[in-house]
Structure 1
Amino acid sequence: MSTAVITDSTATLPAAVVAEHGIRVVPLQLVIDGGERIEGDGADASVVVDALHRKAEISTSRPSPATFLRAYEQAAKGGADAIVSLHLSGGLSGTIEAARAAADEAPVPVRVVDSRSVGMGLGFAVIGAARDAAAGRELPELVERAELRCAATSVRLLVHSLDRLHRGGRIGGARALLGSALAIKPVLHMVDGHVEPLERVRTAGRAIARLQELTVAECEALPDWADGVEVGVHHLDAATRAEPLAAALAERIEGPVELAPMSAVIGAHVGLGTIGVVVSPRPR
C-alpha cells in the first residue's frame, strides 16, 4: 500500500524537506490590510514581521474543505492508496475540521490526525510519518505512531506580549496573565492543543534560561519507546535571543536542534519577539 502524507503550511517544513519526502502541503492564508496572502507563496515570517512593525491589520484563515479535497484527489491520482493528513491543533484553528470534511469525500481512505501542536511540533511528526510511509508501514500503524509522537511532543513559548493572542481569541488559560507587571515574562505551553500559562519569570534573560533548563530536563527523561529526540527553536524577529538559545541547547542535548523562523500564520497570532521551543521524542 502506498500512503501519502499531507500537512499544512504551519508545519514550517523547508521546500527541500517537502520534496525529499514527497509531502503535500496545504497552505493557510493571511489577510494583511485587506490583501490576501498565501503562506509559503508570497507570505513568510518576514512579511508578518514587516506588517506587525507597520501596525497593519492582520488576520488569518484556514483552507477550505474544497482545497483539502483537491489535495486528496491529487494524492490519489499520484498513486496513493491511502492518506494520513496531519495538521495544527484543532484548539487553535478550524483547519482540522476542514480536513475532516474533505476526508469524507476523498477517493481513498484518509486518516486525519490532530497534532494538538504547532510549528515543528507538527513538522517533526509529519516527517516521521513520511519516513514510516516510505518504510512500508500500514496506515493504522503509521497513524498510531504519529499520534504517539504528537502526544509526547511539548511546545513552550516565550512571548513579548499577550496582546495578539488575546485579540485572536487563542489565549486559553493564559488569559489569567493579562495585566501582569511589564517586568514579568510569561512562559506558555501547549496543553491539550491550547495555549496555557506555565510560569511567570522576571526578565527576558531569566525566561530564556528557564526555557533552556526545561528543555534539557525533558530531553534527559524521554519515554521508554523513544529512540532519541528532535528539538526545534522558532522565533519571530528574535534571532539575537533564539540563536544563542539553540546553540546552547545543541551543546547539552544528544540529537539535532533545528532553528527556524516561525510560521507566518502562527507569528501573526503570537506577535513580535516570540520564541518557541519544541521537544519531540522519536519512536523506535
Structure 2
Amino acid sequence: MTARTVVVTDSTACLAPGVAETRGITVIPLQVVIGAHVYDEGSEGASPEAVAVALKEFTPVSTSRPNPSAILEVYRSLAASGAEEILSVHLSGDMSGTFESCQLAARQAPVPVTVIDSRQVGAATGFAALAAQDVIDDGGDAEVAAEAARARAAASRSLFYVDTLEYLRRGGRIGPAAALLGGALAVKPLLEIRDGKVASLEKVRTANRALARLEDLLVQAAGESPVDICIAHLANPQRAQDLTARLTERLADNLQGRPVQCTELGGVLGAHVGPGMLAGVLAPRL
C-alpha cells in the first residue's frame, strides 16, 4: 500500500541506486535525444557513458522534458495505489520545462499535487526530495514536507567545473555565465547554480587550480555545520574519486560518519556540461 503522501522527483536528481526505491520516492525519467533516437535517462537508456561517447564523437545530443500526459499517468498510478497527496520536487524551472509539465499535469491529477521548483539541479534537487521524505517518514504532513524541501534546496550550494563552456552554450543553459564566453579559451571556469541558473563563480587558469579551488570553496561553504555532500562527474572518475577522498578527510567533523557520495552525472545534465565536468553539491542538514 502506498503511503498517504508520496514524494516524486525526476531522473536528474542523482539519487544513488536503490535510494529512491528504499525511501519510497517515485522518479520520473527525462529524455535524451542522441542522433535520431530518444531514450529515457538511466542505465538502460541514455546512460552517462553513452552521452559522453556521443558528445566526444560529435553526435548531436539534446534533451527533452517529460510530456505532461506522461507525468499525469504517474500521478494517477500513485493515486490508484493509495496516495492521497503528492509532492513533486524537480530541477530548476529556468533550466528545464519539467516543472511546467508537472504543473500542467497536477491540474488534472485525481489527488492534490504540490509541485516544487527546487531552483537547483542534480544532487541538490535530490537532497530536497529526501528532506521532504524525511518529514513524511516522521509523520509530518505534506505542507511541512514541502517547506523542508524548499529550505534544503535554498541552503544547498552547487558548484562545478567544466572543461569548456561549449556544451552549455549549445544547449542555451549558460545564463549569467555568458559573459565568460569571450575569454573562454583562456580560463577554466568555476560555475554555480544561482537563483536557478548557471552563473560564473570564478575564473582559474588551469584545471588543477580550478579543482583545488572547488575543494576549498566546498570546505568554506560547510563551515561548522553538519552537511551531506555529493561529488558528481561526467567521464572524469579519477578526479572525482580524488576529490571525494580529500573532502572525506577535511570535512570529517561535518559529515559525522556519513560518506561523501560520488556518482556519475546523469545523461540529461551531462549533455549540457560535457565530458570532464566535476561538481560538488553541499547540503546542510537543517
Output the TM-score relative to the length of structure 1: 0.95
| Identical counterparts, % of pairs | 45
Q: Which amino acid aligns with 1:42?
A: G
Match of 2:9 in 1: 7
| RMSD of aligned alpha carbons | 1.2
- Number of aligned pairs? 278
Cα distance in 2 for partners of 1:205, 1:14 equals 27
Match of 2:268 in 1: 265
Cα distance in 2 for partners of 1:36, 1:174 equals 29
Match of 1:225 in 2: none
Q: Which amino acid aligns with 1:194?
A: K
8 Å contact from structure 2 (residues 215, 243) kept in 1? yes
Q: Which amino acid aligns with 1:3?
A: T
8 Å contact from structure 1 (residues 249, 257) kept in 2? yes
1:93-134 per-residue CA deviation (whole Å, 9 max, x = no partner) reads: 000000011111111111111111111111111122222212
Match of 1:176 in 2: 179
The question of 1:59 aligning with 2:62 is answered yes
8 Å contact from structure 2 (residues 164, 184) kept in 1? no
Cα distance in 1 for partners of 2:79, 2:184 equals 54
Mean CA deviation greater in 12-21 or 156-165: 12-21
Match of 2:249 in 1: 251
Match of 1:240 in 2: 238
Match of 2:52 in 1: 49
Structure having the higher strand fraction is 1
Q: Which amino acid aligns with 2:121?
A: V
Mean CA deviation greater in 87-96 or 5-14: 5-14
Q: Secondary structure, in 3 states, of the residue corresponding to 1:104?
A: helix
Residues 211-222 of structure 1 aligned to structure 2 (within 5 Å):
211-222=214-225
Q: Secondary structure, in 3 states, of the residue corresponding to 2:108?
A: coil
8 Å contact from structure 2 (residues 165, 184) kept in 1? no
Cα distance in 1 for partners of 2:183, 2:89 equals 36
Match of 1:26 among 25, 28, 38: 28
In the TM superposition, residue 179 of structure 1 has moved relative to its aligned partner by 2.8
In the TM superposition, residue 221 of structure 1 has moved relative to its aligned partner by 4.8
Cα distance in 1 for partners of 2:180, 2:17 equals 37
8 Å contact from structure 1 (residues 2, 136) kept in 2? no
Cα distance in 2 for partners of 1:34, 1:198 equals 35
Q: Which amino acid aligns with 1:236?
A: L
Match of 2:151 in 1: 148
Cα distance in 2 for partners of 1:80, 1:36 equals 31
Cα distance in 2 for partners of 1:167, 1:181 equals 14
Cα distance in 2 for partners of 1:29, 1:279 equals 26
In the TM superposition, residue 218 of structure 1 has moved relative to its aligned partner by 0.9
Match of 1:36 among 33, 38, 59: 38
1:195-238 per-residue CA deviation (whole Å, 9 max, x = no partner) reads: 0001001111111111111100111154xxxxx21011100011
Q: 1:16 to 1:150 in 2, by over 3 A?
A: same
Residues 64-143 of structure 1 aligned to structure 2 (within 5 Å):
64-143=67-146
Runs of 4+ in 1 over 3 A off after TM superposition: none
Output the TM-score relative to the length of structure 2: 0.94
In the TM superposition, residue 181 of structure 1 has moved relative to its aligned partner by 5.4
In the TM superposition, residue 50 of structure 1 has moved relative to its aligned partner by 1.2
Cα distance in 2 for partners of 1:137, 1:75 equals 19
